[in-house]
Amino acid sequence: MIKDRAIIHRYNLVIIILFFSSLISCTAKSNILPSTGSPMTAEWKNYNLQAEVNGAPILNYAVTAKRVLKGPVRPQEIQDVFSTRDARVTVFTKWTNIKGNPRYKIKIFDPRGVLFIARSVAYKHRTGIWYKWDDVFIKGWAASRLPGLWRADIYMDGVLVTKKNFIIGSQDTRYEKKIDNENTLKIGVIPFIDHKSSSRKHGRRISLYLAQMLSIDLKHSTIVMPFKLRNNFNKPFGIYEEYKDFLVREINSPGSEWAAASKKHNLDFLITGKAYDQAVQEDDKNMVIYVIDCKTKKIIEVKATYASHAYSGHDISGNEVIRQFYKRVYDKLLKKGISKITG
């Protein structure tokens, strides 16, 4: 009897050891990232040396890839040259030695030298490891119209850590440098507001898409991106239905925050709007765009409403449905709004 118990105990012990061995093995594998595509620049090395001394986050890994797997987190198809037919470029980083709530920021410049995307976020986890990635959508999006050499500048707590270059399409494309003069229209785009019951929030994404597309098509105008303006044009919470009335009051009050911000940025026109996307009622999508003349105080209103049946294809991705919707909204803005201010 005692002998049988000893055998059972030994057997259970072996099972436990094997279990923890496999767990350690799996954990080790999940933390191993592909070694390709992540050369450490002198700037990056210097940052890490200072980070070790100061106890700041350390950048272990930085690549551009076609996509990211999430279990375990791993970049896939690492490369620095992408086709205009690729779905996206993903800038992927891994940080360690995370303490507190450091702030990550990325600035992505297109081949014209225009700041195309800027994002910032603070760390909110407790693992001490941070996998962070940002997408530049290509196929059908504005980036597909800007082939050439792109650059991503990566910051941590306001310090530039490294730069990652990547190519979309042909590197040989050349762009004329835009020179502003007294006839150059300056158009600012502000994040839209979302209806509180919207199942999908489009406010920031649609405004950035419109600004990016306008920056390409309006070659003799200067477009001020939403991420440069959003902190200057605050919008009270819960004013979806009364948003136009709020805009009228703000732009007609010389001492208002909006009037002061428009003057500060020397804007001729402002573009903002509101978005409603409720997945229940036949997937209706509604967008109202306001084009504001900062000089005359007039507002041009453009409405765009589409349902799910308005899109081509039955098996297209959710991202492609959004792209098609945004393109329709943009076309309406050009036809009903921009044509009236540019002649």
CA angle 126-65-200, nearest 5°? 65
| Contact between residue 44 and residue 162 where contact means Cβ atoms under 8 Å apart | yes
| Contact between residue 187 and residue 218 where contact means Cβ atoms under 8 Å apart | yes
Local structure of 116: helix, strand or coil: strand
As a whole number of angstroms, the distance between CA 62 and CA 50 comes to 18
By percentage, how much of the chain surpasses pLDDT 70?
A: 84
Which whole number is the average pLDDT over 179-188? 83
How many helices (H) and strands (E) the chain has is answered by 8, 15
Tokens of 291: 């084009």
Q: Is residue 275 within a helix (H) or strand (E), and if so which, with residue range?
A: strand 269-278
Confidence of residue 308 (pLDDT cuts 50, 70, 90): low
Confidence of residue 108 (pLDDT cuts 50, 70, 90): very high
Helices (H), the chain: 2-30, 42-54, 203-217, 226-229, 243-251, 257-264, 318-333, 339-342
Span of 109-118, 142-151, 155-164, 253-262 with lowest mean pLDDT: 253-262
* Predicted pLDDT of residue 279: 58
* Predicted pLDDT of residue 86: 96
Please determine, for residue 277, whether its predicted confidence score (pLDDT) is greater than 60. Answer: yes
Please determine, for residue 2, whether its predicted confidence score (pLDDT) is greater than 80. Answer: no
Please determine, for residue 122, whether its predicted confidence score (pLDDT) is greater than 90. Answer: yes
* Predicted pLDDT of residue 248: 93
| Burial 105-139, CB ≥16 within 10 A → b, else e | bbbbbbbbebebbbeeeebeeeeeebbbbbbbbbb
As a whole number of angstroms, the distance between CA 283 and CA 108 comes to 33
Query: What domains are there in the chain, each with its CATH number?
Result: 42-168 (2.60.40.1930), 185-342 (3.40.50.10070)
* Predicted pLDDT of residue 202: 86
Confidence of residue 11 (pLDDT cuts 50, 70, 90): very low
* Predicted pLDDT of residue 71: 78
Kindly tell me the burial class for residue 278, based on how many C-beta atoms sit within 10 Å of its own C-beta (0-12, 13-18, 19 or more). Answer: middle
